């Protein structure tokens, strides 16, 4: 493995990883399993403590463990897709590696001292009888190219997830199996890597530090690009009549100036966009569509049925930027 994961493996201040007491709980009810997970940092969210998780930040984890309610992460459509295709990935791996013994995991593994938990997708024995875990993932083709480097290496947050699962299941290696979900192909790529003490020590330290912050009420630094919903949830109501004096903060003044500049640019770009769309409508006239290299432009009649307000008929301008395989809708 290369990149950040390799850097963690080569941690210079390595301490001996002590033998840990692990609880194993049989999963018989999904709701009960979800309740167990709420009490712990789980393998699937450990990456949030390293700033590399696509859905979870350290501040979101902190807020959850302090009792702030959020929509469950396992309810989003990408994660549902992963759950639905997990058996198919297991079947694919069984065909790709017939010498392996692959078993769906049915237990929740938990370190009560660390409050760290995991449920691997599969447990496995390789052709040499060595125990391992298998993590099943799905990815759209463009995500596979961008985040998985075209199959060269799984994302860091998934490597950390698998490393946590090895720690808690006391297995020797991990395999990450990713199914590329394409309408014309369902290829599966396997990445195998060995257990590493330095990685486990880094995970343990981060988890310990996190729980110390939770108990002390010390919020992790927000990721302002992703934590807006968390910040809103942490501070849902204002104290009536309260006032914060920020006149001495040059940083806040700079932020407000940058925001004002950005707002002005947005206004200018919105006006330019409206002018372009008006000219496009003028040029199309009574025509329903136009031929343009690299773009598709339509100006069709659309009927809006009556609901709360009366129904209406109008024309809707649609511009498809086929260079980026995306679309922009106007009107």
Check if the beta carbon of residue 118 is closer than 8 Å to that of residue 162. no
| Spatial CB neighbours of 234, under 8 Å, sequence gap ≥ 6 | 63, 68, 219
Q: How far is it, in rounded angstroms, from Cα 39 to Cα 54?
A: 21
DSSP state of 248: T
Q: How far is it, in rounded angstroms, from Cα 300 to Cα 109?
A: 57
Check if the beta carbon of residue 260 is closer than 8 Å to that of residue 278. no
Question: What's the pTM?
Answer: 0.77
User: What is the mean predicted confidence (pLDDT) over 275-295?
Assistant: 94
| Helix axis angle, 58-65 to 197-216, nearest 10° | 50
Residue 68's pLDDT is what?
86
Check if the beta carbon of residue 189 is closer than 8 Å to that of residue 143. no
Is the model's pLDDT at 327 over the cut of 50?
no
264 or 13, which is more confident: 264
CA distances from 37 to 32, 121, 128 (A): 9, 15, 33
The model's confidence at residue 3, banded by pLDDT at 50, 70 and 90, is low
Which domains are delineated in the chain? 3-234 (3.90.320.10), 250-329 (no CATH)
Residue 24, number of CB atoms within 10 A of its CB: 11
85 or 43, which is more confident: 43
Residue 2's pLDDT is what?
46
Task: Specify which residues 136 forms β-bridges with.
Answer: 177
| Spatial CB neighbours of 209, under 8 Å, sequence gap ≥ 6 | none
Residue 93's pLDDT is what?
95
User: What is the mean predicted confidence (pLDDT) over 45-52?
Assistant: 96
The model's confidence at residue 16, banded by pLDDT at 50, 70 and 90, is very low
- Residue 102 tokens, joined: 């692959």
Residue 324's pLDDT is what?
54
Residue 326's pLDDT is what?
46
Is the model's pLDDT at 321 over the cut of 80?
no
**Most confident segment among 201-210, 234-243, 254-263:** 201-210
Residue-wise burial string across 40-54, b where 16 or more C-beta atoms lie within 10 A, e elsewhere = bbbbbbbbbbbebbe
29-40 pLDDT per residue, tens: 999 999 999 999
Residue 220's pLDDT is what?
95
Is the model's pLDDT at 15 over the cut of 50?
no
Q: How far is it, in rounded angstroms, from Cα 210 to Cα 220?
A: 8
Q: How far is it, in rounded angstroms, from Cα 82 to Cα 98?
A: 23
Residue 236's pLDDT is what?
85
Name the one residue in this structure whose structure tokens are 């002005």.
Answer: 264
Residue 74's pLDDT is what?
54
Q: How far is it, in rounded angstroms, from Cα 115 to Cα 264?
A: 48
- Residue 178 tokens, joined: 């990713």
Is the model's pLDDT at 17 over the cut of 90?
no
Name the one residue in this structure whose structure tokens are 């501070």.
Answer: 235
């Amino acid at each position: 493995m290369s990149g950040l994961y390799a850097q963690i493996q080569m941690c210079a201040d390595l301490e001996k990883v002590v033998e840990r007491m692990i609880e194993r709980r049989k999963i018989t009810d999904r709701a009960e399993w979800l309740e167990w997970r709420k009490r712990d940092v789980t393998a699937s969210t450990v990456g949030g403590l390293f700033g590399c998780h696509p859905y979870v930040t350290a501040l979101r984890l902190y807020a959850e463990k302090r009792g702030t309610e959020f929509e469950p992460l396992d309810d989003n459509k990408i994660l549902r897709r992963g759950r639905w295709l997990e058996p198919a990935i297991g079947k694919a791996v069984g065909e790709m590696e017939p010498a392996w013994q692959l078993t769906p995991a049915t237990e929740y593994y938990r370190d009560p001292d660390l409050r760290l938990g995991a449920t691997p997708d599969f447990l496995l024995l390789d052709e040499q009888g060595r125990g391992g875990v298998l993590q099943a993932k799905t990815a759209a083709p463009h995500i596979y190219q961008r985040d998985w480097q075209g199959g060269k290496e799984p994302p860091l947050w998934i490597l950390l997830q698998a490393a946590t699962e090895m720690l808690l299941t006391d297995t020797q290696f991990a395999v990450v199996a990713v199914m590329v979900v394409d309408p014309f192909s369902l290829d599966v790529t396997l990445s195998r890597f060995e257990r590493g003490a330095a990685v486990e020590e880094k995970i343990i330290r981060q988890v310990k530090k996190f729980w110390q912050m939770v108990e002390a009420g010390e919020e992790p630094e927000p990721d302002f690009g992703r934590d807006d919903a968390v910040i809103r949830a942490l501070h849902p109501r204002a104290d009536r009549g309260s006032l914060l004096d920020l006149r001495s903060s040059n940083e806040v003044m700079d932020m407000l100036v940058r925001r004002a500049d950005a707002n002005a640019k947005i206004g200018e770009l919105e006006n330019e966009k409206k002018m372009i769309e008006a000219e496009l409508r003028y040029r199309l006239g009574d025509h329903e569509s136009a031929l343009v290299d690299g773009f598709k432009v339509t100006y069709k009649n659309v009927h809006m049925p009556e609901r709360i307000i009366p129904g209406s008929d109008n024309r809707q301008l649609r511009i498809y930027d086929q260079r980026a395989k995306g679309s922009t809708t106007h009107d």
